[in-house]
Structure 1
Amino acid sequence: MELRTLNEFSARNEMEGCLICHNAPCTKRCPHGLDPAKVIRSLRFENINGAIASAKDNAICKACDTKDCVKTCLKGKVDRPVEIPSLMTYIGNINKNKGIKKVDLGIEFCGIPCENPFFLSSSVVASNYEMVAKAFEMGWAGVAFKTIGVFVPEEVSPRFSTIRKEGNSFIGFKNIEQISDHTLEENLEYLKKLKEDYPSKIIIASILGQNEEEWTYLARRMTEVGADIIECNFSCPHMTGEGLGSDVGQNPDLVALYTAATRRGTHLPILAKMTPNIGNMEIPAIAAMDNGATGIAAINTIKSIMNIHLDDFSSEPQVDGKSSVGGYSGKTVKPIALRFINDMKKHPKLVDVPISGMGGIESWRDGAEFLALGCENLQITTSVMQYGYRIIDDLIEGLSTYVGEMGFDSVQEMVGMALPKLVQAEKLNRHSISYPKFEKTNCIGCGRCYLSCYDGGHQAIEMDEDQEKPKLLPKKCVGCHLCVVVCPVGAISPGKRVEISQ
């Protein structure tokens, strides 16, 4: 098998075709003891240094005669196998500095030292002892245990659906699952045993009461079994009961009432988990802080309808032919989560409030963005549901390496660094234009930029019929950069900023 030389574009396409298997046969069958599955997974999660370290000597793959990794690739059962030797060789050729300093990711949250900022969020990924214990063993620093109530809800089947685009992963996820389906006593035993067996790990007990008495009672019980933090779930978007979930989070008076009730039951730090199904999150957040909360958790899932099947007009997840509004999560909600966190961090009453950030965190880079906006703790669910607890390896390695490359001595130093860069719209520079820069050697002549600019922009690009390459018409260009974002091969980039003549 002749190795194909990959560039950044073709390598990305090849990597995105990988199924990210459990007990990947490509690794099991490698005669040289390499771990191509780990290399590709690290690349998928933007942990470039980790991928390079795992790839080792790319000459091994070049010289390999068996190509067993390709022969056993399970994607070959779908269409064609991943070109693993070519991908391994590409990664081995990436020119990165050696000896990158890795920084310890220890960080303090709500006055509690955490070994790293990565926690499982309150969901099905953290719903019993065995699951959380496995995650702790693999390196997760803490858990927000699946929300506990006095009652056990009746669940439906099925309860999940997704939105997909290109590739094998989903970009959006909907669930209509409610709080824990274990009894209160079962959950208390899980928390008690987890704290006994993993005393250095941080346990956030997520609770949901139906009235003041229940909020106080649940807080007291969580405190008794050794929880480190109480999280008040004011935001589940699909609880089947009035005055539950996001109905609370949309009502500052209820947030205040139930936060105060929770405070009466515990001396522990309290997080108020906010709903995004609201215009101004600062209002309920302030109500929580004024009534005994220590910090904020944001965001919970977004009320959504996933789709409509046009053959029978049903929606998903389909329960005996019917569906309902549910909670939307996944990569695509990250911009919404970041916006709410920025708004809270800019409010004078919330600027110093600890925030546990969540919503679309899939890679270490996503997590770093939340930290840069002022979060000190990160909660993750949907990415774990796709790829498993093993993502913690690349989350830790990727973030640790990034912090070292940036010259920080601790992850705490980067918290809030992006806040000054986000300003009100009227304060943006409106007196200059950044024209796009075309790299014609990289251009493949697909014409995507021309189509987008003509049909959705300012008709500032024409196609050179001789070269079949785009040509900018500067007098029409307004510097919107639509062409930059639609180019599939990165052949257009932001150019020099030019002052507009008055």
Structure 2
Amino acid sequence: MKAIERILNTLTGACFLCENPACTQACSKYMDPARVIRALRFENVSGAREILTENIDCTTCDDKTCMRACVRSKFDQAVAIDKIMTGVGNLPYYESKSIDLSTSLCGVTCENPFFLSSSVVCSNYDMVAKAFDMGWAGAAFKTVGMFVPDEVSPRFSQIEKEGEKFVGFKNIEQISDYTLEENLEFFRRLKKDYPLKIIIASIMGRDEEEWTKLATLVEEAGADIIECNFSCPHMSGTGLGSDIGTNPELVSKFTKATKKGTSLPVLAKMTPNITNMEITARAAIEAGADGLAAINTIKSIMNVDIDTFSTAPEVGGYSSVGGYSGKAIKPIALRFIHDMKVDKVLANIPISGMGGITTWKDAMEFIAMGCSTVQITTSVMEYGYRIIDDLIDGLTRYLSERGFNKVDDILGKALSKIVSAENLERDSICYPKFNRSSCVGCGRCIVSCYDGGHQALIAGEDRKPIMNPNKCVGCHLCTTVCPVDAISFGVRVKKK
């Protein structure tokens, strides 16, 4: 099954994930191939299989109207929808049961774990109302302050890799560009129209008085939780954002000021631009914070133009240090969250996790690391609020298929699997296992093993690898580079 899923990932990767997809509109059997493809792209394989099951079986279709209508064909060639549907039809089908996805954050009940994080994706009434209508449990509204920043243009750029348009993302955008009164009115309207949805008011003051006043105002406007933005890495003024988050004394002072102005739960949003996040997190909790949010974006400089030597996003020939986000920062986020959850002072403190979440699997990793809710921005910016469909469906199906009944059943389950380096097994070797029927003989494992490993592989007459166990140290570089997943973990034996 893994080989089929790998092939499907490759095929669906070509899809533009169009709005009002032409392939679906053109289907003569009234099938929705675009929805199947979207489920696959967001790792909801079981969901894709059910969508195909619930509709007319298009695997026998021979008119290919969907492929003729494919927008991608205007660029190079149509997405191989016929092959995708055939592949999905060969996957196992599991009927999922109803699962309780509700969770809580600092005592506030949430219908599911999925929140929009404080950013441009939730910056006015219409945007957040649309997201709520689509199924998001809540939104950490874009940070509000007593001032309106002057923004630059452009303010976004991305990292590309080997044909992938969007691997990492950088922004140099600041807090809300609406006035405080406009933002407060957004809160009032949203709470009136969506009383069961959760509004997290992200605030940023310039002194203690502003932190206290902002906390009072957002509570009066209908916020359910307050998030202190101690972590924005690119504010144009000093003493703001991550300038606070790296300083335990400032974190403590402004947390106390915020708590002074409200009875609502308060989250301290932590900066990753620090070595030990638990130090400032402890300062926040000891000052009265009820929970934590982590991580914000990472300070970055990216995409130096080798002709002009300017960096992106270029603003009149110049740029600045900005915040890096996207899938690439997920391992960093998980590490910081782990460090806080195993800290004796912070172990039982609620955390709303974020950083590189694209799919339900990503979200589940954060939940397994101890986050009761997760927040998402960059994936929404790339794909839209519609990702909530597969976030909810994918997590529901996973819990159902594994015999769990609710989200809390997996909360923190990964923490015990992470130990200090000296406690790892070091007197045995796990050798790689080669599936020769799946191997295509590309030689990627061989060249990587020789040039970056221990020269333990050579090519046989069929171009496929032959391993020398006397040289293999079980590093599994070969497994990581194999493009067709023909190498896996094999037998573990004691070292000689």
Shift of 1:169: 4.5
- Distance in 1 between the 2:4 and 2:197 partners? 42
Distance 1:7 1:346, change over 3 A: closer
Maintained 8 Å contact 1:58/1:89? no
Aligned to 1:93: 90
- Distance in 2 between the 1:473 and 1:66 partners? 51
Identify the match of residue 469 of structure 1 among 464, 469, 491: 464
Identify the match of residue 363 of structure 1 among 356, 359, 362: 359
Maintained 8 Å contact 1:58/1:93? no
Deviations 1:160-193 (A, max 9, x none): 0001224554110000000000000000000111
Aligned to 1:3: none
1:261-340 aligned at under 5 Å gives the runs 261-340=257-336
Shift of 1:7: 4.1
Shift of 1:67: 1.1
Identify the match of residue 401 of structure 2 among 399, 405, 409: 405
- Distance in 2 between the 1:161 and 1:333 partners? 16
Deviations 1:320-345 (A, max 9, x none): 11111000000000000000000000
Deviations 1:352-375 (A, max 9, x none): 000000000000000000000000
Maintained 8 Å contact 1:125/1:381? yes
Distance 1:10 1:48, change over 3 A: closer
Maintained 8 Å contact 1:216/1:262? yes
CA RMSD of aligned residues (A): 1.2
Maintained 8 Å contact 1:17/1:82? yes
Aligned to 2:49: 52
Aligned to 1:155: 151
Identity rate of aligned residues, in percent? 61
- Distance in 1 between the 2:76 and 2:4 partners? 22
Maintained 8 Å contact 2:157/2:169? yes
Instruction: Answer yes or no: is 1:254 the counterpart of 2:239.
Output: no
- Distance in 2 between the 1:191 and 1:114 partners? 17
Equivalent residue of 2:139, what SS?
strand
List gaps (5 residues or longer) in structure 1.
Answer: 1-5
Equivalent residue of 1:216, what SS?
helix
1:92-491 aligned at under 5 Å gives the runs 92-97=89-94, 99-464=95-460, 466-491=461-486
Distance 1:59 1:471, change over 3 A: farther
- Distance in 1 between the 2:323 and 2:22 partners? 35
Aligned to 2:70: 73
- Distance in 2 between the 1:469 and 1:284 partners? 52
Shift of 1:399: 0.4
- Distance in 2 between the 1:63 and 1:339 partners? 47
Shift of 1:120: 0.3
Identify the match of residue 37 of structure 2 among 35, 40, 43: 40
- Distance in 1 between the 2:40 and 2:109 partners? 30
- Distance in 2 between the 1:61 and 1:120 partners? 35
Shift of 1:57: 7.0
Aligned to 2:23: 26
Q: Aligned partner of 2:249: which letter?
A: D
- Distance in 2 between the 1:396 and 1:153 partners? 35
Q: Aligned partner of 1:62: which letter?
A: T
Q: Aligned partner of 1:478: which letter?
A: V
Equivalent residue of 2:57, what SS?
helix
Shift of 1:61: 2.1
Maintained 8 Å contact 2:295/2:355? yes
Maintained 8 Å contact 2:8/2:40? no
- Distance in 1 between the 2:97 and 2:470 partners? 48
Identify the match of residue 16 of structure 1 among 13, 24, 27: 13
- Distance in 1 between the 2:204 and 2:429 partners? 51
Higher deviation after alignment, 180-189 or 397-406: 397-406
Give the TM-score taking structure 2 as reference length.
0.98
Q: Aligned partner of 1:37: which letter?
A: A
- Distance in 2 between the 1:410 and 1:167 partners? 39
- Distance in 2 between the 1:60 and 1:401 partners? 22
Maintained 8 Å contact 1:147/1:205? yes
Maintained 8 Å contact 1:122/1:143? yes
Equivalent residue of 1:187, what SS?
helix
Equivalent residue of 1:436, what SS?
strand
Q: Aligned partner of 1:44: which letter?
A: R
List gaps (5 residues or longer) in structure 2.
Answer: none
Maintained 8 Å contact 1:19/1:168? no
Equivalent residue of 2:79, what SS?
coil
Q: Aligned partner of 1:266: which letter?
A: T
- Distance in 2 between the 1:169 and 1:217 partners? 43
Equivalent residue of 1:445, what SS?
coil
Deviations 1:440-463 (A, max 9, x none): 111111110011110001111111
- Distance in 1 between the 2:399 and 2:163 partners? 30
Aligned to 1:492: 487
Aligned to 1:84: 81
Maintained 8 Å contact 2:428/2:492? yes
Maintained 8 Å contact 2:301/2:311? yes
Deviations 1:273-317 (A, max 9, x none): 000000000000000000110000000000000121111111100
- Distance in 2 between the 1:203 and 1:12 partners? 35
Shift of 1:102: 3.6
Maintained 8 Å contact 2:49/2:92? no
Maintained 8 Å contact 2:31/2:58? no
Shift of 1:56: 2.3
Shift of 1:408: 1.2
- Distance in 1 between the 2:129 and 2:404 partners? 31
Give the TM-score taking structure 1 as reference length.
0.97
Distance 1:349 1:45, change over 3 A: same
Equivalent residue of 1:497, what SS?
strand
Shift of 1:58: 8.6
